Chains A and B, each alone.
Chain A
């Protein structure tokens, strides 16, 4: 029989070979997104407990002061805008959230302990990619 006959197997082999050579590529892994997020979470926690004014406000917030809560919300909102990440502070179950929406695709948190005059308090600073705002300082 004259002419070229392509069997299904031949066509399949050809297609697989073409797909294989098109996709066979060395790939670099990830990037440093997770590390960057972790470092920023550590920064937020560190800066929170090293700033005396913030510590005083955190203490007042723990005692139920609404003025302190408002001031902290403004402060963390400014920090969140500057960093371009959602910032969440957890203080013995009491939370402050700045520029967050939904659930993040990536999140990192860091903890610090500070003394509130009577007892030690654990501060957990979380940063996530679920940022709801425009980045500015």
Chain B
């Protein structure tokens, strides 16, 4: 048997190991990507909620429930009667709007301080 016959159909051990290693790296990469994608998606949802709560709370104290004197908006001076109306405006983007909450609300919450009838109040917006 000459050298050529001997090598016909021969698959080197080195190639086999290389293929196994490449497959292994590919599987690890795929697993890492899948795991990271899940974490990223979850973090992204949290950030979206936090942004909603921040925007809603800011809009509330600066405009939506602020007292008005003609066209002049009195930022941080709250008309508590307007809160229920403002709640409907945010729809599903906001879970709850509470004034001086005793306990923490569910979800991502943002707490702001404002004045109502000359007294400090806390407005908590949860998304």
Residues of A near any B CB (own CB < 8 A):
2-4, 14, 17-18, 21-28, 31-32, 35-36, 39-40, 43-44, 46-47, 50-53, 75, 78-79, 82-84, 135-137
Query: A83: which of B36, B43, B102, B111 is its contact (CB, 8 Å)?
Result: B111
**What is the size category of the interface that chain B forms with chain A?**
35 or more
Closest CB-CB distance, A31 to chain B, in whole Å?
6
| Count of A-B contacts judged by CB separation below 8 Å | 85
> Is B95's CB within 8 Å of the partner chain A?
no
Q: Which residue of B lies closest to A13 (CB)?
A: B21
Give complex CA distance A76, B15 in Å: 72
Give complex CA distance A32, B44 in Å: 12
Contact (A50, B115) CB under 8 Å given A28-B44, A31-B47, A36-B110:
yes
Say whether A79 contacts B113, CB under 8 Å: yes
Most buried by A among B25, B51, B113, B122: B113
**What secondary structure prevails in chain A residues at the interface with B?**
helix
Say whether A82 contacts B113, CB under 8 Å: yes
> Is B76's CB within 8 Å of the partner chain A?
yes
Say whether B32 contacts A24, CB under 8 Å: yes
Give complex CA distance A84, B25 in Å: 46
Most buried by B among A21, A22, A43, A52: A43
Query: A79: which of B50, B61, B77, B120 is its contact (CB, 8 Å)?
Result: B120
Closest CB-CB distance, B63 to chain A, in whole Å?
14
Give complex CA distance A50, B76 in Å: 9
Q: Which residue of B lies closest to A2 (CB)?
A: B13
Closest CB-CB distance, B101 to chain A, in whole Å?
7
16 contacts between A and B (CB under 8 A): A14-B21, A18-B28, A21-B28, A21-B29, A22-B28, A23-B32, A28-B47, A35-B54, A43-B76, A47-B120, A50-B77, A51-B119, A51-B120, A53-B118, A83-B111, A137-B101
